[in-house]
Amino acid sequence: MIAIIDYGVGNLFSLKSSFNAIGQETIVTGDPEVIRKADKLILPGVGAFGDAAALLRKNGMDNLVIEQAASGKPLLGICLGMQLLFDYSTEYGRHEGLGLIPGSVQPVRPVVPAGYKVPHIGWNALHLRGKNELFRYISEGDCVYFVHSFYAADCGESVIATAEYGPELTAAVAHKNVYGVQFHPEKSGAVGLNILRAFCE
Amino acid sequence: MITKRIIPCLDVKDGRVVKGVNFLGLADVSSPVKLAEFYSSSGADELVFYDITASAEGRALFTGILTEVASTIFIPLTVGGGINTVDDFDCVLKCGADKVSVNSGAIRDPSLISQAAKKYGDQCVVLSVDAKRVDGQFRVFAKGGREDTGLDALEWVRQGVRDGAGEIVLNSIDTDGVKNGFDLEMLEAVCAVVDVPVIASGGAGCADHFKTLFQTLPKVDAGLAASIFHFGEVSIPDLKRELAACGINMRL
């Protein structure tokens, strides 16, 4: 069973539906016991980093996620859920993350050329780095759907895919059993579903 | 590089897709769920659903359909029509919409944009504008293009973006349904005053119109159309291949 961690952020309808579409049962839950029993975990998230980090901390969910990741359980962070895996973010002040992957979350605006719109919204091609099992069903150049104004920086060693938006922005990371994707696999058509499928298997 | 988006728009009334010509003479086309599945599998980059129903019964049918669409297709969904309050945002987002488009509701209460952007983020709020030339000015029309609001369209989009709209859909009433191409002049004027994505709507009649749009106005992010897709006059896979062959960045 895969648990989609519900800590009060965003709408998990599409995410749950996308797992249904690939025949994978999921449970949306904030119950620590259910999360401990799950085989794999999804950390979703939309909105502002500080608010989401505070909600995670509110019920001790932060420590539970850290404990579960340390036990070797596969964990996938999606969008803001990916950003929360890092040490900290500078979105509206400095906010601490879970520290599961070394790096920080920084604004996109200063690193992209003038004339590039922020948020980075739309379909962009993935440039894969090395061979990661998360991408075993997709190909170099496949497009996925992004919506974000901040990106993961200083995380060179864990980057497994980037997307060009002026510079190459971090699109996906992997560090031991912890994975993160900046884009929305649940909104990225067949390519996105194939990434979720690879994570489930 | 980010790709240009091709977006079919589905006007839904009482649970069925309809499309007007210059907003008049609605004709029933097809099932929204079937069309959505068809478009998703043929490479549409996003879908827009406008609920043009006025009744509560129609509204309930619409949210039911939206839920069904959102559980079967996995590309971004934008929903508009009858969005007047933050509660309306909440309702369609819970049914699986990713973005919510406001039009007349924001004209009646401009604070709707800032309230919604604060609650759901700028990326969630799309300002849809129906505009028409009146006395040498681009004028905003409300109520599906029937009512001249007296608002200047350029000032209106500028204010909307300042309040938190993350995207603009510009529908030119002058070119809508005429199939002579997008309203490049109006689009260029809007692109010059905002720095968020602009989606062109109204006037597409053939693949060449999309090519002209993206080549003439590189700042336009997406092209939206309805009847030419619904009636199969333009096939999305062919269109995207043709645009890509002209050097326009597409998701194929």
- Whether B68 is in a domain gets the answer yes
A161: CATH: 3.40.50.880
pLDDT at A13 over 80: yes
Judging by DSSP bridges, how do beta strands A168-175 and A40-43 pair with one another?
Answer: unpaired
Mean pLDDT calculated for residue range A157-179: 97
Interface touch B1/A186, C-beta < 8 Å: no
- A79-92 in b/e form (b: 16+ CB < 10 A) is bbbbbbbbbbbebe
- Cis status of the peptide bond prior to A119, with omega within 30 of 0: yes
Chain A residues within 8 A of B5 when measuring between CB atoms: 122-123
* pLDDT value of residue B25: 42
The Cα–Cα gap between B54 and B6 comes to: 28
Comparing B143 with A52, the larger pLDDT belongs to A52
Name the minimum distance, in Å, from the CA of A47 to any CA of chain B. 6
B74: nearest CB among A18, A119, A123: A18
- Whether B251 is in a domain gets the answer no
Please, which pLDDT band fits residue B22 given cuts at 50, 70 and 90? very low
* pLDDT value of residue A165: 97
Active site residue B87: no
Could you give the C-alpha distances from B19 to A187, B30, B239, in angstroms and in order? 26, 10, 21
Please, which pLDDT band fits residue B143 given cuts at 50, 70 and 90? confident
Domain that residue B134 falls in:
5-245
**Of the listed ranges A122-126, B143-147, B224-228, B235-239, the one predicted with least confidence:** B143-147
Mean pLDDT calculated for residue range B174-199: 95
Mean pLDDT estimate for chain B: 91
- Whether B250 is in a domain gets the answer no
**What stretch of H or E contains A192?**
helix A189-200
Sequence letter at residue B144: G
Mean pLDDT calculated for residue range A68-88: 97
Q: Which residues 172-231 of chain B have a CB within 8 Å of chain A?
A: 195-197, 221
ipTM here: 0.90
The catalytically annotated residue of B130, B163, B183, B221 is: B130
Q: Say how many domains are in chain A.
A: 1
pLDDT at B23 over 70: no
- Whether B188 is in a domain gets the answer yes
Question: At residue B120, what are phi and psi to the nearest 5 degrees?
Answer: -115, -5
**Of the listed ranges A98-112, B183-197, B226-240, the one predicted with least confidence:** B226-240
Single out the residue of A34, A45, A132, A42 nearest to residue A95, CA to CA.
A45
The Cα–Cα gap between A123 and A143 comes to: 6
Domain that residue A38 falls in:
2-200
Active site residue A148: no
pLDDT at B179 over 50: yes
pLDDT at B150 over 90: yes
B79: CATH: 3.20.20.70
Interface touch B3/A47, C-beta < 8 Å: no
Residue B127, strand partner residues: B102, B168
pLDDT in tens, B36-53: 888 998 999 999 998 987
Sequence letter at residue B143: K
pLDDT > 70 fraction of chain B, expressed in percent and rounded:
95
B167 touches chain A (CB under 8 A): yes
pLDDT at B233 over 90: no
pLDDT at B57 over 80: no
- With beta carbons less than 8 A apart as the criterion, state whether B79 and B92 touch: yes
Q: Say how many domains are in chain B.
A: 1
